[in-house]
Amino acid sequence: MTISNEIKEFLDSQIKYYLTEAQSYKQMAQEYSPKVDSVEDTAFGIIIGCVYSSFLQAYSNQKQVPDMEDIKEFNEMITKNTEIIKKSIMNENV
């Protein structure tokens, strides 16, 4: 099974949403700054975690479970968007 177009479009919209809210997540990560090495990496992890949660919820809503191919495809989507996510966290023009 591969990720359906419907779920891909949903994940793309989630990524776009988190790009617009990246500074909020960076601010959240700053709360952990005494305990983390990198605020930016922490914010990145929070954003990826949120998108992954959306990915799992989309499958759950359809009473499905993603298989390893779906998870691999999800990881490829994230990898493809890593640079733009990082730039949004760094508050660079994206």
pLDDT in tens, 41-78: 999 999 999 999 999 999 999 999 999 999 999 999 99
Backbone angles phi, psi at 36, to 5 degrees: -120, 155
pTM: 0.89
Contact 56, 66 (CB under 8 A): yes
Q: What is the pLDDT of residues 11-48, one digit of tens each?
A: 999 999 999 999 999 999 999 878 888 999 999 999 99
Neighbour count for residue 61 (Cβ, 10 Å): 10
